[in-house]
Structure 1
Amino acid sequence: MQKLTNKEEEIMHILWKLEKAFVKDVLLEVSDVKPHYNTISTIIRNLEEKGYVDHVAYGNTHQYYPTVSKEDYRKNFMSNAIQNYFNNSYKSMVSFFAKEEKISAEELREILKMIEKKK
């Protein structure tokens, strides 16, 4: 799975939300400064080349849809982040969030309960 740029990720989130969309539909969902129609079209075609998106043609227009699920992308993204930034250690990742005060002791206890239930 190729790495996506921030803009490509933004477009993928829109496509995951909409499930199927024409370029004009995606353009309406872009949150910040609205890029030109052709810019969105180019990003979507790049996503198609990378294998994240496919389309159905209706004459000269295309309706695009994701071919990679959000869940699959998230798993790949997290695996890469843990490998590249935490030496493939989930413990290091969790301790990082604890040190940064991004996760509370109560949340950690909830996670431990979830792990115990799985056993």
Structure 2
Amino acid sequence: MKINHLTSAEENLMKLFWKLEKFYLKDIMEQHPDPKPHQNTVSTYLKILVEKGYLATEKEGRIFRYSVIVPAEEYKKFLLRELSHQFFDDSGKEILDFLVKENLISQKDLQSYFDLKIEMKPVKIKEPKLEYAEEILNPKKTKKEKVKNKEKKKKKKDQNRI
């Protein structure tokens, strides 16, 4: 789903719509803080937001029931990506530097955030493979030596039988 930019007036109405999720025009007029906009103004914005794909309509008799299509979290992600792309060269580090520099987030907040995210897990340590030591401690026998050993064992068995 493609998300489009909203004007500040559209954003303000969407904040109310995100709280309501499903609503009628009368619900908006009741919930909107003072000074309340004119009903025709709200109707116009509803029509625009439906066209932009933020709201869906369902006709119930002579009135429409509206429901939110684009969740608030999706719009936040869209805005943050746009901001990152336009002003911070798609760098999260630059955003964090800016937030700390402007005292919008403290280093203590960051530290506590990362302390919560870091989870200590025991690491399985692989035993080192000591090839040379293995060769010295358990030298491989050549085929000739193996055949000789078999012959010796056979002779011992034969001698024990006698």
Q: TM-score, normalised by structure 1?
A: 0.90
Task: Specify the SS of the correspondent of 2:99.
Answer: helix
Cα offset, 1:115, TM superposition:
4.5
Aligned with 1:18 (options 17, 20, 24): 20
Aligned identity (percent) is 35
Between 1 and 2, higher relative CO (CA 8 Å, sep ≥ 6) is seen in 1
Aligned residues: 118
- Residue 110 of structure 1 aligns with an amino acid whose one-letter code is S
Structure 2 residue runs without a partner (length 5+): 122-162
Aligned equivalents of 2:31, 2:95: Cα separation in 1: 33
Who wins on radius of gyration, i.e. which is larger? 2
Aligned with 1:67 (options 66, 69, 72): 69
Aligned equivalents of 2:105, 2:64: Cα separation in 1: 43
Task: Specify the SS of the correspondent of 1:62.
Answer: strand
Structure 1 residue runs without a partner (length 5+): none
**How far does the alpha carbon of each residue in 1:57-93 deviate from its partner, in whole angstroms, 9 at most, with x for none?**
1122111010111111111111111111211111111
- From the superposition, tell whether residues 3 and 57 of structure 1 become closer, same or farther in structure 2 (CA, over 3 Å): same
Cα offset, 1:16, TM superposition:
1.2
Tell me the residue number matched to 2:111: 109
- Residue 25 of structure 1 aligns with an amino acid whose one-letter code is D
- Residue 6 of structure 1 aligns with an amino acid whose one-letter code is S
Q: TM-score, normalised by structure 2?
A: 0.67
Aligned equivalents of 1:67, 1:89: Cα separation in 2: 29
Aligned equivalents of 2:117, 2:88: Cα separation in 1: 21
Cα offset, 1:30, TM superposition:
2.2
